[in-house]
Amino acid sequence: MIIESPLELIFPDLFYRLRAFAGDHDVFLKLEGFNVTGSIKVKTAIGLVEDLERRGIARPNETVVVESSSGNLGLALSLVCAIKGYKFICVTDPNANRATIKGMELYGANVIVVEERDSVGGFLGSRFKTIEQILQSEPNAVWVNQYANIANKNVHADQTANEIACEFDKVDWVFVGAGTTGTLAGVSERLHQKFPEIKIVAVEPVGSVTFGGAPRKRNIPGIGTSVRPKLADLANPDMVVAVNEERTVEACLSFVRDYHLLVGGSTGTVLAAVQQLAPEFARGDTIVAISPDLGEKYLDTIYDTAWVEENVTVPEVKTQEQTYKGRRDRGRRSDVLRHSRLVS
Ligand SMILES: Cc1ncc(COP(=O)(O)O)c(C=O)c1O
């Protein structure tokens, strides 16, 4: 294989069959961490920049692309902007890992790390405030806004969802971690059309507000929000599962031990949700989970015992991991709690 550009390093048809991962059921893990820059976000980055180009907004050597990212999109946009000749400013927060920030800078991005938490204890609000300041002071700045940009959803409808549909004759369950909800909304839209009986499961950490949970401090990057993203209005999941960060860490550790692949924190969260819903699966169901990135960049955090002891606290008051129906009972969260279990 000879390539002409690093952007050709995207692997649409990579699925790891996890034998007997959820009870007797095999699970197909769609691996996105082997893409260039190490995550699913390179597809999003290309989609967002091509959208600017289609709308005639982007001018090489002049336009300053601006975005808020906890790391993966920032790294991907750094590469895409470098290749296409746009300047790039990434606004991130202390949860982003150092190697990712270094990578962004090596690709030529200007990285701003906000230190102040917002009013609900997260960083997203502070990141948005910083972006507003940049837009006011830099006339050529364009905010691609992955949290509200329909191009973020469309790229996952046209690519990620179709990649799943191409691989399987029928799909019964798809588990998707929710950050901006771009992946979730795109996959949900396209796969509900292709497989009307499918169940799309949105997965987020306890403490994320996207699907109505109470805000709480979270430490694992990439998944969950402290401000509900606009795209979530289009997500239409059939179910939502909220996973404690402690359980995420356990899932990552047991996965590397049993399935021999170091995966990222959002993958661990998704895998924990798959196992939580295992009693729901019927014989012959095809179950797919999306793995947005790999684990090497989390060796100093999720895979570091001291970091976990300091940052991933077991709540004093036991928190319920919640699973509730989304799509068909939207707005009726209180009476749709299912499979609740107390976490010790
Ligand atoms: C590692 C990781 N997992 C999951 C997600 C969530 O994807 P989305 O923003 O499409 O909801 C992201 C987004 O940045 C991510 O970086």
In a domain, 168, yes or no: yes
In a domain, 343, yes or no: no
The string over 160-191, giving b where at least 16 C-beta atoms fall within 10 Å of a residue's C-beta and e elsewhere, is bbbbbbebeeebbbbbbbbbbbbbbbbbbbbb
CATH number, residue 100 = 3.40.50.1100
- pLDDT tops 70 at residue 322: no
- Average pLDDT of the chain, as a whole number: 90
Does 210 sit in the ligand 1 pocket, CB within 6 Å? Answer: no
- C-alpha 203/C-alpha 174 separation (Å) is 10
Based on the domain organization, do 132 and 280 belong to the same domain?
Answer: no
Q: What does pTM read for this prediction?
A: 0.91
In a domain, 344, yes or no: no
Based on the domain organization, do 180 and 311 belong to the same domain?
Answer: yes
Residue 75's pLDDT is 97
* Ligand 1 atom with least separation from CA of 179: 11
- Tell me, in angstroms, the distance from the centre of ligand 1 to residue 178's CA: 6
Structure tokens at 179: 């950050």
Torsion of CA 222, 299, 291, 248, to 10 degrees: -70
Query: For residue 142, what is the enclosing H or E element?
Result: strand 141-143
Based on the domain organization, do 189 and 330 belong to the same domain?
Answer: yes
**Residue type at position 241:** V
- pLDDT tops 80 at residue 70: no
Which of 85, 109, 143 terminates a domain? The answer is: 143
* Ligand 1 atom with least separation from CA of 73: 14
SS3 content of the chain, % helix, strand, coil (to 5): 40, 20, 40
In a domain, 118, yes or no: yes
- pLDDT tops 60 at residue 192: yes
Structural domains counted in the chain: 2
- Tell me, in angstroms, the distance from the centre of ligand 1 to residue 180's CA: 7
DSSP for 226-285, written as a single string:
SS--GGGGGT--SEEEEE-HHHHHHHHHHHHHHH---B-HHHHHHHHHHHHTGGGPPTT-
In a domain, 329, yes or no: yes
Residue 344's pLDDT is 21
> What's the mean pLDDT in 321-340?
39
Based on the domain organization, do 185 and 122 belong to the same domain?
Answer: no
Based on the domain organization, do 296 and 220 belong to the same domain?
Answer: yes
* Ligand 1 atom with least separation from CA of 266: 3
Least confident of 59-63, 81-85, 102-106, 120-124: 120-124
> What's the mean pLDDT in 116-132?
86
- Tell me, in angstroms, the distance from the centre of ligand 1 to residue 283's CA: 30
Q: Which residue puts its alpha carbon closest to atom 7 of ligand 1? A: 179
In a domain, 1, yes or no: no
Based on the domain organization, do 118 and 183 belong to the same domain?
Answer: no
Based on the domain organization, do 222 and 176 belong to the same domain?
Answer: yes
Based on the domain organization, do 308 and 173 belong to the same domain?
Answer: yes
Fill in the DSSP letter of residue 290: E
> What's the mean pLDDT in 175-182?
97
Residue whose tokens read 């690709």: 107
> What's the mean pLDDT in 319-330?
48
Does 180 sit in the ligand 1 pocket, CB within 6 Å? Answer: yes
Residue 67's pLDDT is 97
Question: Integer distance in angstroms from the first to the last C-alpha of the chain?
Answer: 50
Which of 117, 143, 169 terminates a domain? The answer is: 143
> What's the mean pLDDT in 63-75?
93
Contact of 200 with 176, CB cutoff 8 Å: yes
Read off the pLDDT of residues 267-282 as tens digits, 9 standing for 90 and up. Answer: 999 999 999 999 999 9
Q: How many C-beta atoms surround the C-beta of residue 15 within 10 A?
A: 17
Residue 324's pLDDT is 54
Based on the domain organization, do 23 and 71 belong to the same domain?
Answer: no
- C-alpha 319/C-alpha 337 separation (Å) is 14
Give the pLDDT band of residue 118 (cuts 50, 70, 90). Answer: confident
Q: How many C-beta atoms surround the C-beta of residue 246 within 10 A?
A: 18
Based on the domain organization, do 170 and 25 belong to the same domain?
Answer: yes
Residue whose tokens read 């920049």: 49
Based on the domain organization, do 216 and 125 belong to the same domain?
Answer: no
- pLDDT tops 60 at residue 115: yes
Based on the domain organization, do 134 and 157 belong to the same domain?
Answer: no
Residue whose tokens read 């769609």: 30
Fill in the DSSP letter of residue 186: H
- C-alpha 174/C-alpha 196 separation (Å) is 13
Q: How many C-beta atoms surround the C-beta of residue 214 within 10 A?
A: 10
Q: Which of 96-110, 244-258, 322-336 has the highest mean pLDDT?
A: 244-258
Which of 84, 118, 143 terminates a domain? The answer is: 143
Its domain, for residue 256, covers: 6-31+149-337
* Ligand 1 atom with least separation from CA of 186: 10
Residue 315's pLDDT is 53
In a domain, 36, yes or no: no
Residue 219's pLDDT is 84
- Tell me, in angstroms, the distance from the centre of ligand 1 to residue 202's CA: 12
In a domain, 342, yes or no: no
